[in-house]
Copies of this chain bind each other. A is one copy, B any other.
Amino acid sequence: MSEQIQPTLNDIRQAAERLKGIAVKTPLLRSVTLSEAFEAEIFLKPENLQRVGAFKFRGAYNRLCQLTKAEKARGVVAFSSGNHAQGVAAAAKILGIKATIVMPSDAPVMKRDNTLSYGAKVVEYDRETESREDIAQAIADEQGAVVVPAFEDFDVICGQGTVGLEIYEQGRETDAEFDMFFSPVGGGGLMSGCATALKSLNPTLQIIGVEPEGFDDVKRSLSAGEICSNSRHTGTICDALLTHAPGPLTLKIMQEYVDSIVTVNDAEVLIAVKYAWEKLKLVVEPGGAVTLAALLAGHLDVKGKTICLLLSGGNVDATTFARAISS
Binding site for B on A (CB under 8 A): 24, 27, 29-30, 32, 46, 48-49, 51, 53, 110, 277-284, 314, 318-319, 321-322, 325-326
Q: Which residues does chain B contribute within 8 Å of A282, judged by CB atoms?
A: 49, 281-283
Q: Which residues does chain B contribute within 8 Å of A277, judged by CB atoms?
A: 283, 321
Q: Which residues does chain B contribute within 8 Å of A314, judged by CB atoms?
A: 281
Q: Which of B51, B281, B322 contacts A322, CB < 8 Å?
A: B322
The complex is assembled from copies of this chain, and their number is: 2
Q: Which residues does chain B contribute within 8 Å of A30, judged by CB atoms?
A: 24
17 CB < 8 A contacts A-B: A24-B32, A29-B49, A32-B51, A46-B281, A48-B281, A53-B281, A110-B278, A277-B283, A277-B321, A281-B284, A282-B283, A318-B325, A319-B326, A321-B322, A321-B325, A322-B322, A322-B325
* Supplied contacts A49-B281, A319-B326, A321-B325, 14 more A-B pairs, CB within 8 Å: A24-B29, A24-B30, A46-B281, A48-B281, A49-B282, A53-B281, A110-B278, A277-B283, A281-B283, A281-B314, A282-B282, A318-B326, A322-B325, A322-B326
Q: Which residues does chain B contribute within 8 Å of A48, judged by CB atoms?
A: 281
In the bound complex, CA of A49 to CA of B321 (Å): 19
In the bound complex, CA of A51 to CA of B24 (Å): 24
In the bound complex, CA of A280 to CA of B51 (Å): 9
Q: What's the least CB distance linking A99 to chain B, in Å?
A: 18
- Closest chain B residue, CB of each to CB of A24: B32
Q: Which residues does chain B contribute within 8 Å of A319, judged by CB atoms?
A: 326
Q: Which residues does chain B contribute within 8 Å of A325, judged by CB atoms?
A: 318, 321-322
Q: What's the least CB distance linking A58 to chain B, in Å?
A: 13
- Closest chain B residue, CB of each to CB of A47: B281
- The 5 lowest CB-CB distance pairs between A and B, nearest first, are A281-B314, A27-B27, A322-B322, A48-B281, A281-B283
Q: Which residues does chain B contribute within 8 Å of A27, judged by CB atoms?
A: 27, 29
- Closest chain B residue, CB of each to CB of A277: B283
